[in-house]
Amino acid sequence: MDRVDVRTVLFRDEIARRLVHASGSVLPLAYLADLTTWPQTQALFVVGATVALALEALRHTGRIDWRIYDYLIREYEADNVAAYALYMLSSAVVVVAFEPQIAVPAVFMLTVGDSLSGLVAGDEFRRVKRPRALAVMFAVSAALAAPFHPETPLAVLLGAAGATVADGYKPVIRTYVIDDNLTIPPVGAAAMAVGIELTALV
């Protein structure tokens, strides 16, 4: 396979991963469309996280080896907890811990913002993402948060900044890379909460 074909395949696989990533928007969208209540949405996220962690346990013990993992799991995730499980876990924690106007945009920052910045960044691994990817993440995150906080722009800016830092910088503890799927929702949510509190003090 020549170089062009390899790049085409890699890009196609990355598109597939990002589409799956963005599909996590379904649950918060169902809540916004009044198809589910907030307690039901919370329960669905908790169930999803539980199932994802159970699947990871089965994968690491060799009890399941589904072909879809070949497409959706990166090489460095083979011996670690895969991004999809961290994604569901962090989203569930935020949905349980925060009220909807904070939790929903925080989840969108992961499902939509990270998907778009990832497409801009490409499949390369970098400790710090390129400036154009950071700019996309900040702009998209701010746009996603703004409708939920029309009277607290500081919450929008801090939330977008927090999500961008979490998305753009991958800390390494010993040899383990802290995946942004684990950090984007809680950092974005906490930053929005701080913005709301600071606005109330003014």
Residue-level pLDDT at 9: 44
In the chain, the N- to C-terminal Cα span, in Å, equals 61
* Average pLDDT score over the chain: 87
Strands of the chain, DSSP E: 172-173, 176-177
**Which residue's entry shows tokens 């994968």?**
59
At 174-200, the pLDDT tens digits run 777 788 999 999 999 999 999 999 999
Sorted by sequence, the CB contacts under 8 Å of residue 19 that are 6+ apart come out as: 115
Higher pLDDT, 6 or 72: 72
Which tokens belong to 26?
A: 């379904």
Give the confidence band of 20 by pLDDT, cuts at 50, 70, 90. Answer: confident
Instruction: Compute the distance between CA of residue 60 and CA of residue 42 in angstroms, rounded to an integer.
Output: 27
Helix (H) or strand (E) holding 180, with range, is: helix 180-201
Instruction: Compute the distance between CA of residue 53 and CA of residue 182 in angstroms, rounded to an integer.
Output: 13
Higher pLDDT, 130 or 105: 105
Give the confidence band of 6 by pLDDT, cuts at 50, 70, 90. Answer: very low
Name residue 169's beta-bridge partners: 128
Q: How many CB atoms lie within 10 A of CB 7?
A: 12
Residue-level pLDDT at 108: 98
At 64-90, the pLDDT tens digits run 776 766 666 766 666 677 888 999 999
Residue-level pLDDT at 171: 81
Residue-level pLDDT at 8: 52
Instruction: Compute the distance between CA of residue 137 and CA of residue 168 in angstroms, rounded to an integer.
Output: 8
Q: Which of 26-30, 46-50, 56-60, 178-182 shows the lowest mean pLDDT across its residues?
A: 56-60
* Mean pLDDT, range 14-37, rounded to an integer: 87
Residue-level pLDDT at 112: 96
Residue-level pLDDT at 97: 98
Instruction: Compute the distance between CA of residue 109 and CA of residue 22 in angstroms, rounded to an integer.
Output: 10
Helix (H) or strand (E) holding 150, with range, is: none
Q: Helices 153-168 and 180-201: crossing angle, nearest 10°?
A: 160
Residue-level pLDDT at 4: 47
Which tokens belong to 193?
A: 């909460």
pLDDT value at 121 more than 90: no
- The answer to whether 82 and 73 have CB atoms below 8 angstroms apart is yes
Instruction: Compute the distance between CA of residue 156 and CA of residue 143 in angstroms, rounded to an integer.
Output: 8
